[in-house]
Structure 1
Amino acid sequence: MVRRLVWLFFLCGAVVSAVAGETGHYVNGVEGVRGSALPPPGFYYRMYNQNFQANRLMDGNGDEVNIGFNVDVWATVHRLVLITDHKFLGADYGCDIVFPFIRTDLDVDLLGVHDRDEGLGDINVEPLVLAWHGKQWDAAFGYSIYAPTGGYGANEPASIGKDFWSQMITVGTNVYFDEPREWHASLLARYEIHHEKQDEEITPGNDFHFEWGLGKTVGQIVDVGVAGYCQWQVTDDKGDDATNTEDRDRLFGIGPDVNVFIPPYKMFVGLRYITEFDAIDRPEGDSWTLTLTWIF
């Protein structure tokens, strides 16, 4: 739940005008093979640790722009989750909040750009989380808001803030193929609705994200599998300051995922690697994500 939890390299200012359009908040691929399976009632703390690196910047045709581009993003993201035993529409009601702390290093050699920024990024508040649980399935619904709390400068391309509010609607399901629930698949869809930037006349186009996972539980405490995602910009960027409005972002990613439950510490540890491909109008790279989850 966190887009520019770590994509906060989003090329702004002169760099954007030259090579890319706007991007949204949510970061794909951070939830893994059980992305749609919400926990039972309780209080949870999850920490995402992610490193994203890219030296490829793709244009509106999906071709690499040779400008000496390189971005290195480190993010530590803190998520507090409360799932209650109160029922709404037959589901457990919950809520959560996400605080991303990010460091971005960006270089564009051809343009002489060498920029760095670090600090608190854009906070995500999710006041509505619904979780349903069946014998062979789980389902989830969520509504959240991104607030422009991160620092932003139109001529500071490594800015960790986005400078606009967003709303996000989430729908997902987990399906179990056998009675012991060892083989499972996850589908998670998110739709981002972006609002106008505060300091520029630009309204980024809305984004649709589709994340998936296929895995197997081993020994009741280990999940192994493959996770991936697809993302499409579905409406055009708008506004007097918008550039390349005819280009819409696209991105795909895939990679292995391992999750382990450590009962004595009431703790989950997850590790996944994602490589991206077939990107349009945005950077294309690779990421490592380590997630730590504690049950209270």
Structure 2
Amino acid sequence: MMNKEIMRIPLLIALLVLLCVITAQPLSAQLKGDHLLGDAGLQSGTQAPPGFALLVPTYFYAASKLKNSKGDVVSDNLDLNMFVTGIGGSWVTNFKILGANYGGSVLFPFASNRLESTITTTKSPFAFSDIYFQPVQLGWHTKHADFLFGYALYFPSGKYEMGGDDNSGLGQLANELSAGSTVFFDKTKLIHFSALLSYAFNSEKKDSDVKTGDNLSIEGGLGKTWYKKAAAGPVPRIINAGVVYYMQFKTTTDKIPLAGSYALDPDKDQIFGAGLEGSYYAPHIRMLFNLRWVAEMGAQNRIQGNTFMLTLAYNLKSFEKK
């Protein structure tokens, strides 16, 4: 009876986040949040096995189109791009909280051309950006589905000055709650569909009254896993491939004192994207290689482009029980 009550907890969390989608009214579209769309895809609702991994993500975003609140193209030659990389780590322990494994992650990023708004044309040099820290990640595993809950912060550690043309950060503190699930369609858990909902609460920007509206992001994918016998050792080679998606909505109004100087209608802000993902785990070197591409569509009151993400992960230490 107790196990059933515990398993209801992640489901209730997911329903609460979903309620935000239904009740929220997208109002504003000018400023961008810290959450980088496309950083999650296949099995986004699944926690990694117990262990500690070193991470080196490489993120590139290129956009040429700007669309208004009706989805019409305002400009198709923006040539905006953003590059983010860094070094980080993620950990999953065998310590249990409400029946879930406890974990977390941290990323120390470097960025160039950090996009602050949907109409920015400034260029910033490659420099230290805003730190991502997830002190709480809880993962549940059942026979037919996995569940995930997390709490994270984006610290305004990158250089930021209101109106500056060399900013590497966004100058705002963001608190982010996330909840998701990966559902498996067969007994061997080879075919799966996932969805991860993340909601970011943004603070006012440094030394100003400007505040970015809160963002709701949904990311996941439909894919298949293959296990191939390794030449040596019990751990197999693992291949993951499938289609991925994301979407993002602004749920509260941007607070900009001189909003009249902005060209776009501040009533709508949304974006959708779909693409492909493939990953390969090489057990003999304990490395995971993950490549993801997403093409954006259906933009309203924001820029539209393509997202590319390559992640290298080194399994430094396994905590799995033998």
Tell me the TM-score normalised to structure 1 length: 0.86
CA shift, 1:38, in A, is: 1.1
Q: Distance in 2 between matches of 1:114 and 1:164?
A: 18
Residue number among 152, 162, 183 corresponding to 1:144 in the alignment: 152
Structure 1 position 75, deviation (Å): 1.4
Deviation at 1:292, TM superposition (A): 0.9
Counterpart CA distance in 2 for 1:67 and 1:201 is 32
Residues 1:90 and 2:99 are matched in the alignment = yes
Match of residue 295 from structure 1 = 315
1:77 offset after TM fit, Å? Answer: 3.0
Shift of 1:73: 1.6
Residue 67 of structure 1, CA deviation:
8.0
Counterpart of 2:58 in 1: which secondary structure?
strand
Instruction: Give the Å deviation of 1:171.
Output: 0.3
Identity within the alignment, %: 31
Deviation digits for residues 182-218 of structure 1, max 9, x if unmatched? Answer: 1011110000111111222112111111112000112
Identify the match of residue 283 of structure 1 among 303, 310, 316: 303
Unaligned 5+ segments in structure 2 are: 1-28, 229-237, 317-322
Q: How many residues align?
A: 273
Change (3 A) 1:72 1:216: same
Aligned equivalent of 1:163: 171
Residue 250 in structure 1 maps to residue 270 in structure 2: yes
Alignment pair present for 1:120 and 2:137: no
Cα distance, 1:68–1:259 mapped onto 2, change above 3 Å? closer
Distance 2:77 2:224 in 1: 41
Displacement, 1:158?
Answer: 5.8
Q: Paired residue for 1:63, among 67, 72, 75? A: 72
Instruction: Select the structure with the greater relative contact order (CA < 8 A; seq sep ≥ 6).
Output: 2
Q: In the alignment, which of 215, 221, 227 is matched to residue 244 of structure 2? A: 227
Cα distance in 2, alignment partners of residues 97 and 49 from structure 1: 15
Runs of 4+ aligned structure 1 residues displaced above 4 Å come to 241-245
The structure that is strand-richer by fraction is 1
1:105: how far off? 8.1
CA distance in 1, matches of 2:216, 2:166: 24
What letter is aligned with 1:213? G
- Which has more radius of gyration? 2
Indicate the larger mover: 44-53 or 188-197: 44-53
Number of the residue aligned with 1:260: 280
Q: Secondary structure at the match of 1:98?
A: strand
One-letter amino acid of the counterpart of residue 218, structure 1: W
For residue 44 of structure 1, report the CA deviation from its aligned partner: 1.1
Match of 1:213 among 221, 226, 229: 221
C-alpha change, 1:178 and 1:67, in structure 2 (3 Å) is closer
Return the alpha-carbon distance in structure 2 between the equivalents of residues 281 and 154 of structure 1: 22
For normalisation by structure 2, the TM-score amounts to 0.79
User: For the Cα contact (< 8 Å) 1:261–1:268, is it kept in 2?
Assistant: yes
**Contact 1:201/1:241 (8 A) holds in 2:** no
CA displacement at 1:65 relative to structure 2: 2.4
Give the distance between the partners of 2:157 and 2:309, measured in 1 at CA. 23
Q: 1-side partners of 2:250 and 2:165: how far apart? A: 21
SS at match of 1:219: strand
Is 1:195 aligned to residue 203 of structure 2? yes
Amino acid at match of 1:197: K
In the alignment, which of 212, 231, 234 is matched to residue 204 of structure 1? 212
Unaligned residue ranges in structure 1 (runs of 5+): 1-19
Matching of residue 134 in structure 1 with residue 134 in structure 2: no
Per-residue displacement from partner, 1:50-80 (whole Å, max 9, x unpaired)? 2111111223332222384221222113231
The offset of 1:262, in angstroms, is: 0.5
Q: 2: CA distance between counterparts of 1:157 and 1:27?
A: 21
CA 1:54/1:200 → structure 2, altered by over 3 Å: closer, same or farther? same
